[in-house]
Structure 1
């Protein structure tokens, strides 16, 4: 555990390696909080670096794991005028580097998603798109490559057709064909981007396929696999939970070579913590990020962007 030292003048000195790992700099301001006997330091972050934009709440799938099984919100697309105003307002965010099109709908269902990407790219910002991959047909792939999208993250909750269909109700072969088509479009247009990432929701019914997923990621040229635990919105999904109140050993991690033009990098597998409970850590705070919903509303993270209920490990339903 890192140790902080208080000087004679009352100043607190934090270890340099601690600051480096968390991308914190000397001279930063901190908020002070206290809980029982603990002193809590919260960094006062200056500006937003990453902006998550929800272009739509419409989706072309009905996945068993999805919040849409219990939520009370309507389905709608973001108006283009809302997006234009948002892009204009990003000029006031001097540290902003990236816009992520994702959310609780499928971004590629928005009829003007390519225009949205173009407007953001004209601002000189990097673009990530999160997708289920079913609408990533060859023409769409070529447009995304040409527009300069530099990251695409595709959800794959299984490797075998049976498992994938059981979770998402669709055919994995279509998604894999679309990803291969994206790779072909990159080759044809002479581009290394968008780089590919894969998201995998860990369930009791699919966790045995995680080892095969890294092999599939290597075949597809994916640079990253992000594994997350399911949040149970339904009684059925509560039976799929892998975590509990007590910490459990993580899944086996691994890496794989990913060829990119004349050089090779290593793909990474990112794993979740394996116990239920709150902790004073938020990736949105760490990444200096915020979320803009389809209606233009601003919230700190996706968890606070919609109204819904879920089940805890002991079966209690929470709103």
Structure 2
């Protein structure tokens, strides 16, 4: 007689396989939970190891031995205060450096003027991440070059604003010839010491009147050990005289023309083993993000103030021209000071979180809406 399909299989012959299957399912469930726990543990470890900040820019000094005509320090010299960030204050930043991918030691001043600059490099390097700086190159004696290489500095960028006499006119107090000699000497001593670092970069300021000099740049830097060039245009315009030098395309046609010139520079650089990068303001099209990366980066001024970027760190009450040509006041945006609170607590405070959130939600803070870094 056939057994009905609904009849329970309660014999010993049928219960044993069911029990084994249940045990198997239990084992699989246990292994699954164990694997999930391991995965969560790995994620927690990786999260703890991952840097909180992509970079932190530390203005080790606001003093400078040059007088570049476009620099706020020159334009607002009557209001400017030269100041070194104390070494003890810098040392207190070591814990946050451990959570920072790149520590850049430079603001509105010349970092090699700081008497404790090499000690600062050592402190930042001890955190185990990248450390860089930007210099006008005028203070790099043979001794400083050797110490720079020995310090373990990862990147050093030299500032230029022309490929001929124009550089010395714009960057008063500097000499193109001496800067190139410093780069050449640094590259030579690196080879003598068998070192690969610091990588040598060039930070190139492009004026509208200097477009015709760009073509000579790759050849000028060829053979000097420069690996990368970043071309910037004048986005902070503090005077009426400088407005005509701000390379801010007014039309899409002009934008395409300028971009074509810059793209040719990129290709010419590539042919000589030189990586060239640039940012050009696009007319009428705002970016979704700020190029200063305010959601994962910050700036610490020489007076200890924590600001979202170097542009919002200016300690002056002057004015400048925005992208639309309107004259506006310099407004410093400070979320705290390292003399009073640690960077971690400042970063997590509600006002700072709300500021960063405004960028994620596309409701950019009013103080930043006309900044060239989002265009």
- Give TM-score scaled by structure 2 length: 0.66
Instruction: Judge conservation of contact 1:69–1:233 (CA < 8 Å) in 2.
Output: no
Are 2:297 and 1:294 aligned? no
- Partner of 1:279 in structure 2? 287
Q: Which runs of 5+ in 2 are unaligned?
A: 1-42, 44-49, 330-375
Could you give the per-residue CA deviations for residues 28-71 of structure 1, whole angstroms, max 9, x where no partner exists?
A: xxxxxxxxxxxxxxxxx982131111100000100111122344
User: 8 Å contact 1:246–1:276 — kept in the other structure?
Assistant: yes
Corresponding position of 2:349: none
CA contact (8 A) 1:50 1:287 kept: no
Q: Partners in 2 of 1:83 and 1:214 — Cα distance?
A: 37
Residue 131 of structure 2 is aligned to residue 127 of structure 1: yes
The 8 Å contact of residues 217 and 225 in structure 1, kept in 2 or not, is answered as no
1:108 and 2:94 are equivalent in the alignment: no
Shift of 1:73: 4.0
Say if 1:136 and 1:179, in contact at 8 Å, map to a contact too.
no
The change in CA–CA distance for 1:301 and 1:314 in structure 2 (over 3 A counts) is: closer
1:286 Cα deviation from its structure 2 partner: 7.3
Matched with 2:74 is 69
Instruction: Name the counterpart of 1:234.
Output: 239
- Name whichever of 121-130 and 150-159 sits farther off: 121-130
CA contact (8 A) 1:121 1:148 kept: yes
The answer (yes or no) to whether the contact 1:69–1:234 under 8 Å persists in 2 is no
Structure 1 168/279 Cα, relative in aligned 2: closer, same or farther at 3 Å? same
- In the alignment, which residue of structure 1 is the partner of 2:150? 146
The answer to whether the 8 A contact 1:255-1:267 is kept is: no
Task: Please state how far the C-alpha of 1:111 moved relative to its aligned partner.
Answer: 1.1
Contact 1:82–1:295 (CA under 8 A) maintained in structure 2: no
- How does the TM-score come out when normalised to structure 1? 0.77
Name the structure, 1 or 2, with higher relative contact order (CA <8 Å, separation 6+).
Answer: 1
Contact map agreement 1:51 1:291 (CA 8 A) in 2: yes
SS at match of 2:274: strand
1:87 corresponds, among 77, 80, 94, to 94
Q: Tell me, which stretches of 5 or more residues in structure 1 are unaligned?
A: 1-26, 28-44, 259-263
Aligned position for 2:321: 311
Cα RMSD, aligned residues only: 2.5
CA shift for structure 1 position 173: 1.0
User: Which protein is richer in strand relative to its size?
Assistant: 1
Give the length in aligned residue pairs: 267
| Secondary structure of 1:177's aligned partner | helix
